[in-house]
Amino acid sequence: MQIEDKHVVTLHYTVKSEDGQAIDSSRGAEPLSFIQGSQYMIAGLEEALYGKEKGDSFEVTVEPEKAYGERHEQLVQKVPLNMFEGMDVEVGMSFRATTEQGEQSVMIVDKDEEHVTVDGNHPLSGKTLVFDVSVEDIREATADEIAHGHVHGAGGCGHDH
Residue 105, pLDDT score: 87
Please list, residue by residue across 40-58, b when 16 or more beta carbons sit within 10 angstroms of its beta carbon and e when fewer do: ebbebbbebbeebebebee
Residue 97, pLDDT score: 78
Q: Are 95 and 33 in contact (CB under 8 A)?
A: no
What is the per-residue pLDDT across 77-123, written as a single tens digit (0 to 9) for each? 999 998 888 888 899 999 887 777 778 888 999 999 999 999 999 99
pLDDT at 48 over 70: yes
Q: Using DSSP, state whether 4 is helix, strand or coil.
A: coil
Share of the chain above pLDDT 70, in %: 95
Residue 26, pLDDT score: 96
CA distances from 81 to 76, 85, 98, 125, 139 (A): 15, 7, 16, 26, 51
Q: Is 141 exposed, middle or buried (0-12, 13-18, 19+ CB in 10 A)?
A: buried
- Rounded to whole angstroms, the Cα distance separating 44 from 131 reads 10
Answer with the residue of higher pLDDT: 102 or 62: 62
Domains of the chain: 7-68+125-148 (3.10.50.40), 73-119 (2.40.10.330)
User: DSSP code of 142?
Assistant: P
- Rounded to whole angstroms, the Cα distance separating 116 from 110 reads 6
